[in-house]
Each structure stands twice: as C-alpha cells, then as structure tokens.
C-alpha cells in the first residue's frame, strides 16, 4: 500500500547562495553554500497564486504562511504554537518621550520565551524532513533552549554549547528538555569552535545561525505578521536587536517576497531598518560606521543582552545590505542604558522585556533625540525575548 503523504502547500523551488546566486536543491540536507561558504536563501514561486485572503481562518501560528515556508510534508511539522505574537501600542512611554505612534511586537510571548522559537521550529521540522540523527548548536542562551525544546518534541538528540556565564535559567531549561549541555569560557564564536570539534564527523546537524537555510525562514514570518497585523500598512521604522542578524535579514526578505506576491503596493516605502547592538559587542555598528572593513577580526565583550554577544556574524554582509537598501542605520547601547530600558518598559508598560528588547527602546529614544526619527513616524520596536531568564544579569536593579 502506498504511504499517505500529507503534502503541504509550500511553493519552494530551490535554495540560492546569498553571495553568488548559485542554485541548490531544497529537498536534500544543505548547510552553507558549497560555492562560497555563505548562507543559502530559500526561493519560492511567488507568482501570485498565494493570495492574502487565503490567510482568513488559518491557525494562529507562524505556520499560517505555509506557501512561503519550506516544509514539504505537513507530518514533519514540529510546532509548539510559535508566532502571531501581539502588537501593542506603548501609549505611556510614547507620551512621556514624544512618540506619536510607538508600537512593540512582543516576541517574549513565544514558546520558550523568545523569537528563537520561530527559527528552531522551522529548522527542526526540516531536520526531521531530511532525516538527520540529531542537532547541535552554539548559543548565547535562547537559541539553545528553543532547539532543546523542539528536539524533545521531535524525539531528536540535542547538544547545546553555551558560555559558562550564561544565566542559570537558560542552562536549567536545556537540562529539563533532556539536552546534552557543554559549558565553556568565552563567547558564541568560541562555542562555535567547540561545536566543530564535537561534531567533526558531522553526524549531527549544526543549526548555528545562517549555517543552515531554515531558521531564517522561521524568523522571516515576523515580517509577514507585522504587515498582516497592521493591515498591510508598514511602519516607517523597525528597530531590531541584532546578534547574528536573522530577524533583520528575515523581515526584509519577507517584505521583498510580499512585494513580489503583490501583497504590498508597488510604490510602497518600505521601513527603514535599524540594527541595535550592545556597546560591549558592536561589530555591525563599527563596520557600518566605517571603523573597520568587516567584523572578521572583531573581539567583543560579554553583555547583559546575551543574544547580542556575537562578535563575528556570518550574516554581516546581508545585514549591511538591509541597512543600506532600507536607508536604515546601526546604533549601540550601553549596559547601564539597557537596565534603564528594562525598568521603563516594566514600570510604564507592564512589559518585563529581555535586555535586548530594552536596548531597542533606548535606541528609539536616542534616534528621536538626534532627529533621525520624527515624532509623527510609526516606530515599531521588536522585543525579542522575555526578561524572566535574565534575572542573574539584572536582579535587584529595578
């Protein structure tokens, strides 16, 4: 008897090297592009057959955009209910600082407490689809927790490598999900080196940021949601806390795809995209400002915003492209300012955000003061995680 294959509606056609455009098959295991050792980008048949009216009545998760997601067989979907997080107006802070139209998308409400759930739900689903034996990841915290959770759901072994200084809550949650956890002294790039050492035979799939093509596809759903939730009127500016950069690159990819699908007016002015980094680790800011050619030799320090401690992001060229194409900018925020941001968002808006999200709010304040932002502009802040796992970093500083 023929096995029943629950096919999905995916319109994926191939993967393309982000540097030279060389095309690769999407239905076999892929990592980075063999031609340039750079990220692979999923490409779809965006010919207008996917209409936004098809979204009506679909499930309230990121999987509502299945035509522009890479999963081929619905039965491989590994979901914990990620996506479709709320957008809310920040009336109190807006009024206090003179923003007339300030909104926040709260990604802290995702499963496992961060937007990493989107990327890992997608990557682990695809890992299952191509038949891997297990997954391994270098992480600053949230990505490891998300990978461990989705691997638990998928019955796949999980190996997580994180800095020893990561707050306890991240480590503890990984243990609860049954992951094997390795701790080491250093930042995520040191963890990446340890992953290469542990996984020399490549028995496990390394789901490092942009070293496989599908976490980006999960993250890009934030762009689709922002458009859908704002009834296809995009914000003027989007501020994003950039570590490896998948959110920044993914949201911009979503805007390009929606333009191709005819979901956005042809003459639409796309949002100016802002990369917010920690003063302690600001490789993209320094390159953007012309202080270095690229971040390949950059050394960073740890930061309260663990997710921003990424000194040498593989996706830097793609991030810079987004900043340039969108007319955006890059800015860094001090440790002190992040604590002030957590305090303000908690007290004035009832949102206990991750320091990464607080950095984004503080960046908006700076950019308004500098005149880079206008008071009347619609400004969207991405809070990428919940503050609850960061207590070791900020405890008592309310």
- Shortest gap between Cβ of 64 and Zn ion (angstroms)? 32
- Binding site partner of 256, from ligand PLP, Zn ion, none, Cβ cut-off 5-8 A by kind: none
CA–CA distance, 315 with 319 (Å, rounded to integer): 6
- 280 and 307 Cβ atoms separated by less than 8 Å: no
β-sheet bridge partners, residue 195: none
- Shortest gap between Cβ of 242 and ligand PLP (angstroms)? 5
Binding mask 9-48 for Zn ion (x = CB under 5 A): --------x-xx-x----------x-xx------------
Strand duo 180-184 + 87-89: pairing = unpaired
Q: Which is nearer to ligand PLP, 118 or 272 (CB)?
A: 118
Q: 230-257 burial, b for 16+ CB within 10 Å, e for fewer?
A: eeeebbbbbbbbbbbbbbbbbbbbbbeb
DSSP code at position 112: G
Q: Which is nearer to ligand PLP, 72 or 151 (CB)?
A: 151
- Shortest gap between Cβ of 306 and ligand PLP (angstroms)? 7
Q: Which residues bind ligand PLP (CB under 6 A)?
A: 114, 116, 142-143, 209, 241-247, 307, 310, 354, 356, 384-385
- Binding site partner of 163, from ligand PLP, Zn ion, none, Cβ cut-off 5-8 A by kind: none
Residues that bind Zn ion (rule: CB under 5 A) add up to a total of 7
CA separation (Å) from 127 to 71, 184, 212, 352? 10, 26, 10, 33
- Binding site partner of 17, from ligand PLP, Zn ion, none, Cβ cut-off 5-8 A by kind: Zn ion
Q: Which is nearer to Zn ion, 33 or 303 (CB)?
A: 33
Secondary structure of residue 8 in the 3-state scheme: coil
- Binding site partner of 215, from Zn ion, ligand PLP, none, Cβ cut-off 5-8 A by kind: none
**Residue 391 backbone phi and psi in degrees, to 5:** -55, -35
Q: 111-140 burial, b for 16+ CB within 10 Å, e for fewer?
A: bbbbbbbbbbbbbbbbbbbbebebbbbbbb
CA–CA distance, 230 with 42 (Å, rounded to integer): 25
- 162 and 195 Cβ atoms separated by less than 8 Å: no
Strand duo 40-44 + 12-17: pairing = antiparallel
CB-nearest residue to ligand PLP: 307
- Binding site partner of 167, from ligand PLP, Zn ion, none, Cβ cut-off 5-8 A by kind: none
Q: Which is nearer to ligand PLP, 22 or 256 (CB)?
A: 256
- Shortest gap between Cβ of 384 and ligand PLP (angstroms)? 3
Q: Which is nearer to Zn ion, 16 or 281 (CB)?
A: 16
- Shortest gap between Cβ of 52 and ligand PLP (angstroms)? 26
Q: Which is nearer to ligand PLP, 76 or 393 (CB)?
A: 393
- Binding site partner of 242, from ligand PLP, Zn ion, none, Cβ cut-off 5-8 A by kind: ligand PLP
What are the strands of the beta sheet with 378-383, ordered from one edge?
87-89, 101-106, 378-383, 237-241, 272-278, 329-333
Binding mask 136-155 for Zn ion (x = CB under 5 A): --------------------
Binding site for Zn ion (CB under 5 A): 17, 19-20, 22, 33, 35-36
């Amino acid at each position: 008897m023929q096995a029943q294959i629950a096919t999905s509606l995916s319109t994926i056609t191939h993967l393309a090297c982000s540097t030279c455009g060389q095309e690769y098959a999407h239905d076999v295991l892929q990592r980075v592009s063999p031609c340039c050792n750079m990220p692979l980008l999923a490409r779809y048949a965006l010919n207008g057959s996917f209409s936004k009216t098809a979204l009506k009545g679909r499930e309230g998760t990121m999987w509502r955009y299945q035509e522009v997601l890479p999963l081929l067989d619905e039965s491989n979907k590994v979901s914990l209910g990620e996506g479709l997080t709320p957008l809310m107006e920040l009336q109190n802070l807006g009024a206090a600082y003179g923003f007339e139209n300030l909104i926040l998308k709260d990604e802290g409400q995702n499963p496992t407490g961060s937007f990493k759930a989107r990327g890992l739900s997608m990557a682990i689903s695809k890992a299952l689809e191509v038949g891997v034996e297990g997954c391994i990841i270098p992480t600053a915290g949230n990505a490891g927790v998300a990978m461990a959770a989705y691997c638990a759901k998928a019955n796949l072994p999980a190996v997580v490598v994180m800095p020893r200084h990561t707050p306890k809550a991240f480590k503890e949650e990984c243990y609860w999900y049954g992951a094997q956890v390795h701790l080491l002294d250093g930042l995520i790039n040191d963890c990446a080196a340890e992953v290469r050492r542990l996984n020399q035979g490549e028995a496990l799939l390394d789901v490092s940021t942009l070293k496989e093509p599908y976490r980006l596809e999960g993250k890009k759903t934030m762009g689709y949601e922002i458009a859908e939730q704002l009834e296809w009127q995009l914000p003027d500016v989007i501020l994003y806390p950039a570590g490896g950069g998948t959110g920044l690159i993914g949201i911009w990819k979503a805007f390009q795809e929606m333009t191709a699908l005819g979901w956005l007016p042809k003459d639409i002015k796309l949002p100016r995209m802002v990369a917010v980094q920690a003063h302690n680790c600001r490789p993209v800011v320094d390159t953007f400002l012309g202080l270095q050619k690229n971040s390949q030799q950059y050394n960073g320090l740890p930061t309260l915003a663990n997710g921003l401690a990424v000194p040498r992001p593989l996706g830097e060229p793609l991030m810079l492209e987004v900043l340039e194409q969108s007319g955006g900018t890059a800015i860094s925020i001090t440790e002190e300012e992040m604590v002030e941001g957590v305090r303000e968002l908690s007290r004035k808006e009832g949102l206990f955000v991750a320091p990464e999200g607080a950095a984004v709010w503080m960046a908006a304040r700076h950019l308004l003061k500098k005149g880079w932002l206008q008071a009347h502009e619609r400004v969207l802040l991405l809070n990428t995680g919940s503050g609850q796992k960061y207590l070791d970093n900020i405890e008592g500083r309310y």
